[in-house]
Structure 1
Amino acid sequence: MNDDEILAEFRAAQALLEGHFILSSGKRSANYLQCARVLMDAERAGRLARALVQKIPREVRAEIEIVVSPAMGGLIIGHEMGRALGVEAMFLERPDGTFELRRGFALTEGQKVLMVEDVVTTGLSSRQAIEAIRAAGGEVIAEAALVDRSAGEADLGVPFFPLVSLNFPVYDPDDLPPELAALEAIKPGSRKS
């Protein structure tokens, strides 16, 4: 899939939103990708996962033993990536603000992990999830994501393979353009803080 085909999938799912959005990083944007909407359709989710797998070099794919993704955003695409790669998939949760494996999920010492996210903006959540995977004994060999919103700036400490890179302008809350400041800000993501 090329970038236009990928964005067509987002538009078809009404997942490319316009307005005034508060991102999980606290920054603001006039555009928001609601990946949950694009993943509502299982066939579409599978197509996007297969396209994302093709972005990962063959030698890296050959090493992947398991997929781990953070809940909520990465859960569906992580599961579909596991299916596309033919490996199991599990997820991290943050019941008390810190990522951890629960529900009987466990990694073996040195297990080769592909970390999968829906959207990467600053990379903070990804780095926290990678640290939790390492603490649980896994070795994160790469990260894949549907969307890189970081303009290539996110330093995850591992090779990063996004399906598409989108560089919508992002603003500090106290430095908004007037047209954005005039709109009510909403927080459409899964995290409240």
Structure 2
Amino acid sequence: MTRDEVIDVFRECGAVLEGHFILSSGLRSPVFLQKARVFMYPRQTEKLCRALADKIRAAVPGRIDYVVSPALGGLIPGYETARHLGIPAVWVEREGGEFRLRRFEIEPGARVVIVEDIVTTGLSSRETVAAITALGAEVVACACLIDRSAGEADVGVPLVALCEYKVPAYAPDALPPELAAIPAVKPGSRGLA
């Protein structure tokens, strides 16, 4: 899929929002990609994740034993991408503020791809990589549907993105006046109790 085809799926699902948004990274942006509005449609989700699985196959030599995703946002794309790769999908979740593989076991030496929904700074991916490598598995790549950083995020391993979509993001104390004039909303899930 091309970048425009991916973004068109998000637009068709009403998932490209405009306003003043607080991203899970803490940065502010005039655009929010509400992937939940895409994931509510199985056909569109399957289309995106099938294309991501194809891109992972092309980019990662050798076998892949597991897809691991960070909960909550990565669960649906992780599962659907793993389905197209024909491998198990498992996830990490926060426990005491850190990602842990709580419900599953991964054997040392297993080859893992981390699958995310959207990458902005890469924090969730880096934390997931750290949790999985601490178990002795080898993280061979991270993958995402959309890389909002356009290749700037460092996730610690190669990043396979279905598309890059650079959207401006600002520190809260460095907002342009037009964004500062709009009330901020936080639509993401990080930080929810």
Is the structural similarity TM-score above 0.5? Answer: yes
Question: Match of 2:127?
Answer: 128
Return the alpha-carbon distance in structure 2 between the equivalents of residues 5 and 174 of structure 1: 34
Return closer, same or farther for 1:61/1:84 CA change in 2, 3 Å cut-off. Answer: farther
Deviations 1:132-166 (A, max 9, x none): 01112221001110110113111112111111111
C-alpha RMSD of the superposition: 1.3
Question: Match of 2:116?
Answer: 117
Supply the AA of the counterpart residue of 1:37.
Answer: R
For the pair 1:154 / 2:153, whether they are aligned, the reply is: yes
Deviation, 1:59, is 6.3
Secondary structure of the 1:92 match is strand
Secondary structure of the 1:122 match is coil
Return the alpha-carbon distance in structure 1 between the equivalents of residues 123 and 12 of structure 2: 29
Return the alpha-carbon distance in structure 1 between the equivalents of residues 21 and 59 of structure 2: 38
Secondary structure of the 1:170 match is coil
| Aligned length in residues | 192
Return the alpha-carbon distance in structure 2 between the equivalents of residues 85 and 79 of structure 1: 10
Secondary structure of the 2:25 match is coil
Return the alpha-carbon distance in structure 2 between the equivalents of residues 45 and 136 of structure 1: 30
Question: Match of 1:81?
Answer: 81
For the pair 1:13 / 2:45, whether they are aligned, the reply is: no
Return the alpha-carbon distance in structure 2 between the equivalents of residues 68 and 75 of structure 1: 9
Return the alpha-carbon distance in structure 2 between the equivalents of residues 174 and 124 of structure 1: 20
Secondary structure of the 1:162 match is strand
Deviation, 1:57, is 4.6
Question: After the TM superposition, which residues 38-57 of structure 1 pair with which residues of structure 2 at under 5 Å, given as runs?
Answer: 38-57=38-57
Deviation, 1:58, is 3.1
* Structure 2 unmatched runs, 5+: none
* Structure 1 unmatched runs, 5+: none
Bigger drift between 53-62 and 181-190 goes to 53-62
Contact 2:49 2:80 in 1 (8 A): yes
Deviation, 1:12, is 1.1
Return the alpha-carbon distance in structure 1 between the equivalents of residues 145 and 65 of structure 2: 20
Supply the AA of the counterpart residue of 1:175.
Answer: A
For the pair 1:166 / 2:170, whether they are aligned, the reply is: no
Secondary structure of the 2:98 match is coil
In the superposition, the TM-score normalised over structure 2's length comes to: 0.95
Contact 2:59 2:160 in 1 (8 A): no
Could you tell me the percent identity over the aligned residues?
Answer: 55
Secondary structure of the 1:43 match is helix
Deviations 1:95-128 (A, max 9, x none): 321000112x010011000100011111111111
Secondary structure of the 2:144 match is strand
For the pair 1:187 / 2:181, whether they are aligned, the reply is: no
Return the alpha-carbon distance in structure 1 between the equivalents of residues 161 and 24 of structure 2: 19
Which ranges of 4 or more aligned residues in structure 1 deviate by more than 4 Å? none
